[in-house]
């Protein structure tokens, strides 16, 4: 059986199980759900700040090296 047929059968099986399992959901959120969502938001913000701080250091080093080399080139000519 080639790869394409396997993927088609897998998609069909997943679709079949998804449609067969459809039922009415009892939408109940316990108090712990809000805490989990809050922790997720805090984690996303903290990760974003860490990535930004790391990227900012790299960007500032790049531009400081770029401008420093230009200043050194111009100071040699004078």
The domain spans of the chain are 3-77
pLDDT at 72: 57
Alpha helices (runs of H) in the chain, residue ranges in sequence order: 3-20, 31-77
| Average of per-residue pLDDT across 15-44 | 80
* Helix (H) or strand (E) segment spanning residue 26: none
User: Residue 78: is its pLDDT beyond 70?
Assistant: no
| 35 vs 65 pLDDT, higher one | 35
CA dist 53 and 65 (Å) reads 18
| 57 vs 50 pLDDT, higher one | 50
pLDDT at 39: 93
């Amino acid at each position: 059986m080639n790869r394409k047929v396997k993927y088609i059968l897998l998609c069909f099986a997943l679709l079949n199980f998804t449609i067969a399992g459809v039922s009415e959901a009892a939408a109940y959120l316990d108090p712990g759900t809000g805490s989990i969502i809050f922790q997720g938001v805090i984690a996303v913000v903290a990760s974003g700040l860490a990535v930004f701080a790391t990227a900012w250091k790299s960007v500032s080093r790049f531009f400081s090296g770029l401008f420093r080399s230009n200043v050194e080139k111009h100071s040699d000519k004078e």
